[in-house]
Chains A and B, each alone.
Chain A
């Protein structure tokens, strides 16, 4: 009987014993192979069945339905059964494209990603480079605190940031009033509301996303840096290259695949940002602060619901994300991750 892994290696020398402790004739090699072959043919499909069923039913099927609904007239009467659903062709999409709210939300999603992605990547990379040069204990300390921010639930983080930037008693407004005027501080910040207009609101969301997003980038970049032989950096430095040049001429080219994956992931996450934006902008409170995801959500869950239009918006959002995902998948395949 096998009691530990270590025994398994040596046990083959002694005659096999079955779990009941009785002797039995060893099966012929051919028997083993035949039984094994049949089992091996079916086994992978059986093993994948539960996960494929769960993913298929709760991720793939809703995605398909979303596309179907986007071509239908689907609202409250259809949900309650008062009226049948009918196909309306591209009507929902035409409605979306002619809606100024769609364009403003798309603009916000794009601009936000354009601001948050480079900032997160830059902050994360700088911290990653720093971690690589710190002593072991210090590096462990800094990366642990950073990962605490990463592990912070999006809901808590958002609520905390709303409080930090609160006009009545928030610490940020107070700090800004204390700042000398040549640094942009002054009494005009007293009671400044950050959530009343899109630009300040998304400034808060950007800071929040950078705060929560940089640790992941830093840890990933650090892992990449560990694979670069130290001699390469030393050689470049001996040749008189400064830190800036060493990064762009040595580090960046070597870590390019990692940076590509991190860039694509960040774009996907930030373009599709929902929970943080939803909470900071006041839970559907300010229509001019909607991004694409929030607008889709609002169409579906604010009375009266317009599931068809919401689905059309959801399809637009999903298509944009899937186009970026295609790049992500390609990068993974190239790196040999899909072996």
Chain B
């Protein structure tokens, strides 16, 4: 009886995993299929004659006129620079919130919770007009600024738990030994908060890498500035649905997130819980 239940539970687990993986599997499988198999009347799960042609047309740019690498570069520039800056800024704020008692502390924390829920598709209207005035349309710098600001509420909220978990006694001991605030920060706090910093960086990375609303609105006219999400949908919106190329582009866009994610999955799971469910 107990064995039967074990089998039933594991069976349910396998079904959940398979259903969850199916869309991802189908994306990869389609990317390797030649056109005749993609539009075949009886779709098969695996390509009978796997081909690199779809990837080749994405990589050398024969579909859109520009190679994938150009868009990868844009995405990497935007994502890495916004993650670097926002991690630093979030760490400062997290230390401030976790280590000091001051007047507007609660106000600031509640502000973070509220601001996080402001709808991007509404703010984008006002931001578009501002950026237009400032000449930040069609500019990757503008996107970096936005991604820094929009990832901060979540990253600060998560990081402050990691900072609060570092025993205050360590810092005090160092201070009594004559360490200045700088060396306390760099030699005591930073090494101990590093795992938390990794977790929040993954969040900031995923946010910036995936972001679509701002990128597609602000980069509208300049194709050379497109980031990967805009590139993937550009393809897709052009009427002639070349699904092999679209899926190949999706794979190339999704792969870095997945790899990055799998490496940090264990930590991320802990961070996910710490960040969103319970402060």
Jot down 8 A-B pairs with beta carbons below 8 A, ordered by A.
A59-B118, A63-B122, A159-B233, A169-B243, A268-B117, A293-B122, A296-B121, A336-B279
Are B21 and A274 in contact (CB-based, < 8 A)? no
Please tell me if B4 contacts chain A, counting CB pairs below 8 Å: no
B245-263 toward A: CB 8 Å interface, digit per residue (1/0)?
0110010011001100110
B4 CB to nearest chain A CB (Å): 14
A145-161 toward B: CB 8 Å interface, digit per residue (1/0)?
11111011111110111
Are B119 and A293 in contact (CB-based, < 8 A)? yes
Closest B residue to A13 by beta carbon equals B177
Are B119 and A318 in contact (CB-based, < 8 A)? yes
Please tell me if B221 contacts chain A, counting CB pairs below 8 Å: no
Are A155 and B278 in contact (CB-based, < 8 A)? no
Bound: A335/B109 CA distance, A: 14
Closest A residue to B209 by beta carbon equals A153
Measured between beta carbons, the chain B residues less than 8 angstroms from A240 are none
Are B121 and A44 in contact (CB-based, < 8 A)? no
Measured between beta carbons, the chain A residues less than 8 angstroms from B261 are 147-148, 151
B183 touches which of A19, A46, A139 (Cβ 8 Å)? A19
Q: Which of A89-97, A112-120, A306-314 forms part of the interface with chain B?
A: A306-314
Are A337 and B115 in contact (CB-based, < 8 A)? no
B163 CB to nearest chain A CB (Å): 11
B127 touches which of A58, A168, A310 (Cβ 8 Å)? A58
A58 touches which of B39, B113, B149, B257 (Cβ 8 Å)? B149
Are B213 and A54 in contact (CB-based, < 8 A)? no
Are A152 and B121 in contact (CB-based, < 8 A)? no
Measured between beta carbons, the chain A residues less than 8 angstroms from B23 are 149, 157, 160-161, 164, 211
Bound: A297/B198 CA distance, A: 35
Closest A residue to B130 by beta carbon equals A62
Are A171 and B89 in contact (CB-based, < 8 A)? no
Closest A residue to B45 by beta carbon equals A171
**Chain A residues near B (Cβ < 8 Å):** 2-5, 8-9, 11-12, 16-19, 24, 26-27, 32, 36, 39-41, 43-48, 50-52, 54-55, 57-63, 65-66, 69, 79, 127, 130-131, 133-135, 138-139, 141-149, 151-157, 159-164, 166, 168-169, 171, 174, 211, 215-216, 219-220, 223-224, 258, 261-262, 265, 268, 272, 274-275, 279, 283, 293-294, 296-297, 300-301, 307, 310-311, 313-315, 317-318, 321-322, 324-325, 328-329, 332-333, 335-339
**Chain B residues near A (Cβ < 8 Å):** 9-10, 12-13, 16-17, 20-21, 23-24, 26-27, 30, 38-43, 89-90, 92-93, 95-97, 99-100, 102, 105-106, 108-115, 117-130, 132, 145-146, 148-150, 152-153, 156, 169-170, 173-179, 181, 183, 187-188, 191-192, 206, 209-210, 212-213, 217, 229, 232-233, 236-237, 241, 243, 246-247, 250, 253-254, 257-258, 261-262, 265, 268-269, 272-273, 276-279
Measured between beta carbons, the chain A residues less than 8 angstroms from B246 are 159, 163
Bound: A154/B146 CA distance, A: 18
Q: A48-B97, A160-B250, A174-B43 are in contact. Are A155 and B229 (CB under 8 A)?
A: yes
Closest A residue to B105 by beta carbon equals A44
Are B122 and A66 in contact (CB-based, < 8 A)? yes
Interface centre among B38, B174, B191 (most CB of A within 10 A): B174
Bound: A79/B250 CA distance, A: 36
A169 touches which of B39, B123, B262 (Cβ 8 Å)? B39
Are B113 and A146 in contact (CB-based, < 8 A)? no
Measured between beta carbons, the chain A residues less than 8 angstroms from B20 are 145-146, 148-149, 211, 215
B74 CB to nearest chain A CB (Å): 15
Closest B residue to A224 by beta carbon equals B277
Measured between beta carbons, the chain A residues less than 8 angstroms from B149 are 54-55, 57-59
Measured between beta carbons, the chain A residues less than 8 angstroms from B153 are 55, 59
Measured between beta carbons, the chain B residues less than 8 angstroms from A60 are 115
B110 touches which of A142, A318, A338 (Cβ 8 Å)? A338
Q: A160-B26, A272-B119, A322-B114 are in contact. Are A310 and B125 (CB under 8 A)?
A: yes
Bound: A265/B42 CA distance, A: 41
Bound: A332/B278 CA distance, A: 7
Q: A47-B95, A160-B23, A211-B23 are in contact. Are A18 and B265 (CB under 8 A)?
A: no
A39 CB to nearest chain B CB (Å): 7
B126 touches which of A17, A24, A297, A311 (Cβ 8 Å)? A311
If A152-B257, A163-B246, A274-B120 are given as contacts, then 17 extra A-B residue pairs at C-beta distance below 8 Å, sorted by A number, are A43-B96, A44-B100, A47-B96, A58-B146, A145-B17, A151-B206, A151-B257, A155-B253, A163-B27, A171-B43, A294-B121, A296-B122, A314-B125, A317-B121, A318-B122, A325-B113, A328-B117
Closest B residue to A123 by beta carbon equals B16
A113 CB to nearest chain B CB (Å): 13
Closest A residue to B114 by beta carbon equals A325
Q: A154-B210, A300-B128 are in contact. Are A335 and B96 (CB under 8 A)?
A: no
Bound: A79/B131 CA distance, A: 12
